[in-house]
Copies of this chain bind each other. A is one copy, B any other.
Amino acid sequence: MTERSSRVVVARKLTRRAGRDRAGEFLAEGSQAVGEALAAHTAGRVRVRSLFATEEQAAKLTDAGVPVHVVTDRAAASLSETVTPQGLVAQCELPATTPAEALASRPPLVAVLLGVADPGNAGTVVRVADAAGAGAVLFAGDTVDPYNGKAVRASTGSLFHLPVARDRDALAVLAACREAGLRLVGADGYASDDLDSASVRGELAGPTAWVFGSEAHGLPEDVLAELDATLRVPIYGGAESLNLATAAAVCLYASARAQRHHG
């Protein structure tokens, strides 16, 4: 199958958000992500529609009950968003999970991304949330699409581990969190109260939704007004700030620890 084959042409549209939303599908690229997609498929969490693989990659695949399309290197590269395509891409169904559904099991730790612009950052936060044991990640407002190729890759499979839901209505996402019994805590570099003090006071031991804002502008006023608290990661040295992923790691792990060791 070449890059001009209709299947490849159709799949290539999934490298753009409009194409993903229209088709209700997305792409996961590389052996690690595809392996995780297939595991989620087997577990019934995600449906993998088909695989595109170069001959070399197809030879390594074990039968997963999913159609495999053998493609040229060039066709595989046309579906890739990396500099060095691995020649293996899964075409997956977009999960239609709503925030309320993602929170149905009432997880005690949740991450909300609200206005995050960079797909690599968003994917890394999904990975960190998964590592810290969060039960869901919610993409709210005009946050980048979690199914963007770079976001999928940065999540290193975590996108397939826990429920991820999108809703452009940011306040509806916050309401769903509250409905699920979560305390809404915003990460805000300008907050007067800091994470370590809140942790020592035992305020992180309960069910918590951490809300992370845009890399450039933080959280907007109307969102801040809805939160139960805002906390900053304390800066003990000369740095102006942390980047989004490292700040999220410190916040989510502070909650994970508090819920297990003081909760």
Shortest CB-to-CB span from A44 to chain B, Å, is 15
Contact A156–B239 (Cβ < 8 Å): yes
Contact B196–A242 (Cβ < 8 Å): no
Q: Check: A133 CB closer than 8 A to any chain B CB.
A: yes
Contact B196–A237 (Cβ < 8 Å): no
Given A250-B249, A250-B250, does the pair A242, B131 have CB atoms closer than 8 Å? yes
Neighbouring B residues of A254 by C-beta, 8 Å: 253
Q: How far is the CA of A99 from the CA of B238 in the complex (A)?
A: 20
Q: Write the A223-250 contact mask toward B (1 if CB under 8 angstroms, else 0).
A: 0000000000111111111110111111
Given A243-B124, A249-B242, does the pair A261, B196 have CB atoms closer than 8 Å? yes
Neighbouring B residues of A7 by C-beta, 8 Å: none
By size class, the interface of chain A is 35 or more
Q: Check: A213 CB closer than 8 A to any chain B CB.
A: no
Q: How far is the CA of A246 from the CA of B236 in the complex (A)?
A: 17
Contact B130–A161 (Cβ < 8 Å): no
Contact A233–B131 (Cβ < 8 Å): yes
Neighbouring B residues of A247 by C-beta, 8 Å: 249
Partner of A131, one of B196, B235, B245, B248: B235
Q: How far is the CA of A200 from the CA of B254 in the complex (A)?
A: 12
Closest to A40 in B: B238
Shortest CB-to-CB span from A253 to chain B, Å, is 5
